[in-house]
Amino acid sequence: MEEAKHTCKCIICGEMKGEDEGIRIVTEFICDDCEIDIVATDVLDEKYPFYIHQMKQIWIQRNA
């Protein structure tokens, strides 16, 4: 049991993941699974606007 391990909440899927299971962007966290999904998502895909919307929260907070 590793209680010292930090977990981060992915802003895309909302799941709690270990710090080493994703990337940190400014204050936000995106897990590896979602990062792969975003990279693989075509701009014309219906999921793309959702990702952009979630990502925008990062920039809004950064500029606040």
Binding site for Zn ion (CB under 5 A): 10, 12-13, 31, 34
Q: Which residue's Cβ lies closest to Zn ion? A: 10
Contact 31, 13 (CB under 8 A): yes
Nearer to Zn ion, 26 or 63 (CB): 26
Q: Rounded to whole angstroms, what are the CA distances from 64 to 9, 16, 24, 57, 60?
A: 21, 25, 18, 10, 6
**Least distance (Å) between residue 25 CB and Zn ion:** 12
Based on CB atoms, which residue is closest to Zn ion, 1 or 53?
53
